[in-house]
Structure 1
């Protein structure tokens, strides 16, 4: 091979390497990956001896992360489609309260209460999307109105019917129900019992539960979170509908001219966001056995923060479900990690603000560096 050919081959190889590096830098998950590494390194250093990484500790922050993940998946797809839903938190409280009223107050079967609540919430999501599309109003305003409407009904209905804002007895009503375990049960209990018997995980040393594993299974909340993340990732990256989501959020008018059903896509994303909020609410009600009017407060903002940390743009057309899942994982680890590290829990909100600012600055800087923008 001549010297010129060797030089050309070397240049080509450098171009390929630079291209791969550039592609890695513009991945929307970059901020979430960096944040996850920093958070885990920090708590491995300062809280490793506090029980945070025992089986019970891992379960604690995994469950909290799973809560954020469930609503972050819906928020992520909707934001990529170019819209917001500020009613997610109120939807969580409303859905939980409706399940409790239907099953406890009205004595409906729990499976029927759950299914009717899902239909109701998805219908409200469709109405939000329809109003946004038909009126041209910003989704921020429309869903802000829904936030107050749903929260108002969540407080008014139990006060009017039961003269209180917390309705209990859901666990008793769900006894023997066929659908309730899908949201409030556990899987792999036999595996965890075997791990406990083998001494691999901690077991209770005394009392009525002596010999039983401290962690006796994986809660369905975590299963739902993982399932939704996988579904959302495949939908977004492997299907034509996923391309439509990106196109709808990137340039809606150009997408319409290309044959993309932008209105239908956005309405379906509002419906999916409501579906995710209802899953969260159902799992929460089954776990606690009650519904409270204050459930879901500020969850809409936490979902948006998780999505932004995961690399999504507030302007739409860019983002990643995996990145949003990493943002949710950061939330769960930090919220529980501060407790294990003995740090004042109110500082969690301070951290959220700092990590949000860091993620936005990092994503903006890298994007400008790659595109050459100023």
Structure 2
């Protein structure tokens, strides 16, 4: 009798059913939720143009916005920490970029690179305070939520006497780095589809004959790139194993040589990086920065991650699941608009789906750990 057969007959060897194996996949909730919202809005808003080229691009862009910040929040939550300063970081980084380029005369590319470096240093400071003081990341980043938002408003008023800083669009026209965040790709392909009659085109005005959707915004490209990068980092590298270990049991991870402090600080920096990417894309899109941008985005990012299957206790989650959570948000937000429903219902949806996701994740955690 082979060892494999003996192992199968050994009562100490616990077999896992296919159902249980599927149930503990972190992406399960995101997959089910995505299917449900597509079916729902396909039924109630399918005739309103939601699933035509322009409608698809609308909810894709909104989903991409959630997706960018959800990737950073996901990796940080798997590492066992939270970042409540994400929303304030979005407003802060955009304002810094605009002040440096418009009011201090910096080249836009230099302002962008400096802002990324500066904001990642702030993320490192968040992480350093958490690991050195032992304070909960909830408290540390909550403090930075107020600090950054206050500095954003003060800086805007001090330099411009207003909370909206314009003029970035003019600086971006001749800048080599601006198109990386504010341009579009595949414009020729979409023009060809418009000429072939595959997608709608404008019928009047100066844009007559041009496609309604003329390319894929760099915001979407950044979102997909970050999802792929985050997924590969988490599932294909030793550092990804360290992230899971740091969030699962930090002390045990230290005993086996995992640099837990470095992992956590790196994830805070990556969260700040994702927030700055989001802010830069917004600044390039609108040609301005506003002090109130990013409000409540930190909570929306966390909800995306929880919907995607991550546990609030850390050590378990999926970047793909978080991306699906972002798609759910984008489809629901735009679906309510296409269905002519009250937009405030989106907040009701956020609260309800967060509650359902936490209950489901708690149940899954009990299955994983064998708790009753």
CA distance in 1, matches of 2:288, 2:88: 16
For residue 296 of structure 2, the aligned residue among 295, 298, 303 is 298
Aligned partners of 2:311 and 2:362 also within 8 Å: no
Corresponding residue of 1:148 = 146
Unpaired stretches in structure 2, ≥5 consecutive residues: 1-5
CA distance in 1, matches of 2:113, 2:181: 12
Corresponding residue of 2:249 = 251
Corresponding residue of 2:170 = 172
For residue 344 of structure 2, the aligned residue among 338, 343, 346 is 346
- Sort the Cα spacing of 1:314 and 1:51 in 2 relative to 1 into closer, same or farther, 3 A: same
2:61 maps to 1:67: no
Unpaired stretches in structure 1, ≥5 consecutive residues: 1-7
Residue 362 of structure 1: how far off its partner (Å):
2.2
**Secondary structure at 1:333 match in 2:** helix
What is the TM-score when the length of structure 1 is the normalising length?
0.95
Aligned partners of 1:75 and 1:304 also within 8 Å: yes
Corresponding residue of 1:186 = 184
Q: How many residues align?
A: 364
Residue 371 of structure 1: how far off its partner (Å):
4.9
CA distance in 2, matches of 1:334, 1:290: 27
CA distance in 2, matches of 1:108, 1:233: 36
Deviations 1:299-337 (A, max 9, x none): 000000000000001110000000000111111110110
Corresponding residue of 2:268 = 270
Correspondences of 1:46-57 after superposition (within 5 Å): 46-57=44-55
**Secondary structure at 1:344 match in 2:** coil
Corresponding residue of 1:157 = 155
**Secondary structure at 2:221 match in 1:** helix
Residue 107 of structure 1: how far off its partner (Å):
1.5
Corresponding residue of 2:305 = 307
Corresponding residue of 1:282 = 280
**Secondary structure at 2:211 match in 1:** coil
Corresponding residue of 1:5 = none
What is the TM-score when the length of structure 2 is the normalising length?
0.95
Aligned partners of 1:22 and 1:370 also within 8 Å: no
Residue 363 of structure 1: how far off its partner (Å):
2.6
CA distance in 2, matches of 1:272, 1:366: 28
CA distance in 2, matches of 1:270, 1:132: 10
